[in-house]
């Protein structure tokens, strides 16, 4: 299972079929309010998931070491990724766009 699929299943449940970023977005009237959903998860109160991709992945129970983040970045379309703060910011925004694409309401400031 891809890391992105593991992430979407952690958010939407095991029955969720992940739409790759290249596919049409999921259209679901029952969209998850991502901010409220993440804030209600255990551990959210001590993680900076809003800006830190490592904290976001930790909140979701997904491996977040540099090698795992590099693999996720490649999965989401990065051709080069070295783990700089700029790379992590790109990965966080790209991941949020992918989550939004799969059926979550994501505040726009998280996808920029």
Instruction: List, in order, residues 6 or more apart from 24 with CB less than 8 Å away.
Output: none
Q: Across residues 3-13, what is the average pLDDT?
A: 91
Structure tokens at 24: 């049409």
Confidence band of 91 (pLDDT split at 50, 70, 90)? very high
pLDDT for 85 equals 96
Q: Is 69 exposed, middle or buried (0-12, 13-18, 19+ CB in 10 A)?
A: buried
State the pLDDT confidence band at 28, using cuts at 50, 70 and 90. Answer: low
Specify the pLDDT at position 25. 77
pLDDT of res. 29: 60
Residue 1: its pLDDT value, please?
81
Cβ atoms of residues 58 and 64 within 8 Å? yes
């Amino acid at each position: 299972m891809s890391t992105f699929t593991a992430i979407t299943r952690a958010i939407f449940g095991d029955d969720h079929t992940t739409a790759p970023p290249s596919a049409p977005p999921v259209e679901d009237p029952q969209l998850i309010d991502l901010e409220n959903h993440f804030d209600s998860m255990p551990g959210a109160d001590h993680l900076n998931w809003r800006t830190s991709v490592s904290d976001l992945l930790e909140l979701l129970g997904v491996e977040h070491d540099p090698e795992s983040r590099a693999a996720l970045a490649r999965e989401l379309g990065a051709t080069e990724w070295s783990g700089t703060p700029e790379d992590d910011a790109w990965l966080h925004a790209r991941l949020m766009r992918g989550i939004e694409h799969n059926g979550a309401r994501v505040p726009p400031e998280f996808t920029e």
